[in-house]
């Protein structure tokens, strides 16, 4: 294979700050960033759901650093990156309430993060009020205004661009209610401050990891269609990171972006089929998020190419890993440790409330394939514990940081 193996970016590091330049004023469409699902295409006329790509994975050259990166991402972490900076004064926050506002509760990811955030904050006597953003700017603003009216200790938003509820978030900070934006890249129009913090999450790291897996798996000859969401600045930036990783490390690989939008959800299937048929030789079809999986899979079936491509996705959830285990369409899925992320968010919001600078948080990202899902506890309970990603001792580690042990 011909690949260009320059310095390898570690996919598990936080999202690149340079992506922030792509942030635009968020619109109502930004709400749908996580309401989408992944799909793939094929080159034969077989429309069975469990089709396999016609060619086996190519062997990687011995000593290939990209292959080594992928191998590392296929394994659970031996330890999770809990911050080391201790936090004093947490007892003073007892009795306060934090509002958690996810963009939507339709995704299990936000339910898991919200549950972990609640458990973590409850351990220090801080309560959590969940307010479903409903994928609607008006509803999100109403949630923030509810927090303001209740004189909340802080507001944590999840997968919501600042501009989607800018007036309400501005008002919260003006009333000295700190705001933590999670699972979004930094908005240069609203930089971090004493009352505004960001925890970017693993969006970029996940798609970068998928890109690396494809390069290695294809032997450096991948022809990829990726369903990329146009719904938010962050979702666009994640896809740009995917393209950059491919172009940097694989000169013979091609990437075609099929732009999709949750506002036009019924069009995902036909647009996927059209993108495949317009791109001869496609052998990988990638979804930005697991939430787009079913309509994109339908598009692959419509194209008649289900047996000649390998499907991939990001933001792995239980259904995606079950699909991998069943050898149905997907070959790779990248996920973020959502339970761990909930405790990270708790640490960040406690520091904001106490006026303490936030450390650099490293997301925990893992690649899942048909091979390494074997033996995993693919149940809601297994997903909630965070055991798919590594040790589950991090709650005690965070508590120790906060002076609870």
pLDDT score, position 309? 94
* Confidence check: pLDDT of 259 > 90: yes
Q: At what angle do helices 394-401 and 108-122 cross, to 10 degrees?
A: 40
Q: Which of 273, 187, 276 is nearest to 237 (CA)?
A: 187
Q: Tell me the per-residue pLDDT of 270-301, one tens digit each, with 9 for 90 and over.
A: 999 999 999 999 999 999 998 888 888 989 99
Residues in the chain: 405
pLDDT score, position 33? 39
Asked if 320 and 373 touch (Cβ cutoff 8 Å), the reply is: no
What's the rounded Cα separation, in Å, for the pair 263 and 194?
A: 35
Structure tokens at 197: 């913090």
Residue range 150-154: mean pLDDT, rounded: 98
What's the rounded Cα separation, in Å, for the pair 127 and 288?
A: 33
Residue 404: count of CB within 10 angstroms of its CB: 12
Higher pLDDT pick, 13 / 127? 127
Residue showing tokens 């990783």: 245
pLDDT score, position 263? 76
Query: What angle (nearest 5°) sits at the alpha carbon of residue 384, between those of residues 40 and 114?
Result: 95
pLDDT range class, residue 80, cuts 50, 70, 90: very high
Q: What sign has the CA pseudo-torsion 390, 393, 399, 401?
A: negative
Q: What sign has the CA pseudo-torsion 131, 135, 141, 144?
A: positive
pLDDT score, position 104? 84
pLDDT score, position 262? 78
Asked if 256 and 224 touch (Cβ cutoff 8 Å), the reply is: yes
Asked if 297 and 49 touch (Cβ cutoff 8 Å), the reply is: yes
Q: Tell me the per-residue pLDDT of 3-30, one tens digit each, with 9 for 90 and over.
A: 433 333 333 333 333 333 333 333 333 3
> Which of 48-57, 183-192, 263-272 is the least confident region?
48-57
pLDDT range class, residue 37, cuts 50, 70, 90: very low
Residue range 101-114: mean pLDDT, rounded: 88
**For 13-52, what is the HEC assignment?**
CCCCHHHHHHCCCCCHHHHHCCCCECCCCCCCCCCCCCCC
Taking the model in full, what pTM does it have? 0.83
Q: Can you list the alpha helix ranges (DSSP code H) found in 123-232? A: 137-149, 166-174, 203-218
Residue range 248-260: mean pLDDT, rounded: 95
pLDDT score, position 63? 62
Q: At what angle do helices 108-122 and 338-353 cross, to 10 degrees?
A: 50
Q: Which residues are CB-neighbours of 400 under 8 A, at least 6 positions away?
A: none
DSSP 68-121: HHHHHHTSPPSS----------GGGGTT-EEEEEES-SSSHHHHHHHHHHHHHH
pLDDT score, position 320? 93
* Confidence check: pLDDT of 187 > 80: yes
pLDDT score, position 107? 77
Portion of the chain with pLDDT greater than 90, in percent: 77
Asked if 293 and 287 touch (Cβ cutoff 8 Å), the reply is: yes
Asked if 46 and 307 touch (Cβ cutoff 8 Å), the reply is: yes
pLDDT score, position 86? 96
Residue 237: count of CB within 10 angstroms of its CB: 23
CATH numbers and ranges of domains, the chain: 37-77+204-336 (3.40.50.2300), 90-201+338-363 (3.40.50.2300)
Q: Which of 31, 369, 83, 93 is nearest to 217 (CA)?
A: 369
Query: Strand, helix or coil at 105?
Result: coil
Q: What is the mean pLDDT of the chain?
A: 86
pLDDT score, position 205? 96
């Amino acid at each position: 294979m011909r690949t260009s193996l320059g310095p390898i970016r570690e996919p598990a590091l936080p999202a690149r700050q340079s992506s922030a330049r792509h942030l635009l004023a968020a619109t109502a469409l930004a709400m749908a960033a996580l309401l989408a699902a992944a799909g793939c295409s094929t080159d034969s006329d077989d429309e069975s759901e469990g089709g396999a790509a016609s060619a086996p994975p190519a062997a990687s050259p011995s000593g290939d650093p990209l292959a080594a990166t992928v191998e590392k991402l296929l394994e659970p972490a031996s330890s999770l990156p809990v911050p080391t900076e201790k936090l004093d004064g947490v007892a003073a926050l007892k009795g306060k309430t934090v509002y958690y506002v996810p963009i939507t509760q339709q995704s299990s990811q936000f339910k898991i993060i919200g549950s972990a955030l609640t458990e973590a904050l409850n351990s220090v006597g801080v309560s959590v009020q969940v307010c479903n953003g409903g994928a609607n700017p008006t509803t999100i603003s109403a949630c923030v205004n509810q927090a303001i009216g209740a004189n909340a200790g802080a507001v944590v938003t999840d997968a919501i661009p600042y501009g989607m509820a800018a007036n309400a978030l501005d008002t919260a900070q003006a009333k000295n209610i700190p705001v933590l934006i999670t699972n979004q890249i930094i908005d240069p129009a609203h930089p971090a401050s004493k009352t505004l913090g960001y925890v970017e999450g693993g969006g970029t790291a996940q798609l970068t990891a998928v890109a690396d897996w494809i390069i290695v798996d294809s032997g450096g000859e991948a022809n990829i269609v990726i369903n990329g969401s146009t719904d938010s600045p962050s979702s666009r930036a994640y896809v740009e990171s995917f393209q950059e990783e491919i172009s940097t490390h694989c000169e013979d690989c091609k990437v075609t972006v099929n732009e999709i939008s949750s506002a036009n959800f019924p069009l995902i299937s036909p647009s996927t089929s059209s993108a495949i048929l317009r791109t001869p030789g496609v052998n990988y079809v990638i979804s930005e998020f697991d939430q787009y999986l079913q309509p994109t899979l339908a598009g692959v079936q419509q194209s008649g190419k289900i047996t000649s491509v390998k499907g991939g996705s990001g933001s792995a959830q239980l259904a995606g890993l079950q699909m991998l285990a069943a050898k149905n369409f997907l070959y790779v899925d990248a996920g973020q440790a959502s339970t761990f992320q909930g405790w990270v968010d708790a640490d960040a919001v406690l520091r904001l409330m106490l006026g303490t600078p936030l450390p650099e948080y490293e997301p925990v990202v893992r690649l899942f394939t048909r091979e390494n899902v074997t033996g995993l506890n693919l149940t809601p309970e297994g997903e909630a514990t965070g055991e798919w990603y590594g040790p589950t001792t991090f709650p005690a580690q965070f508590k120790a940081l906060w002076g609870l042990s």
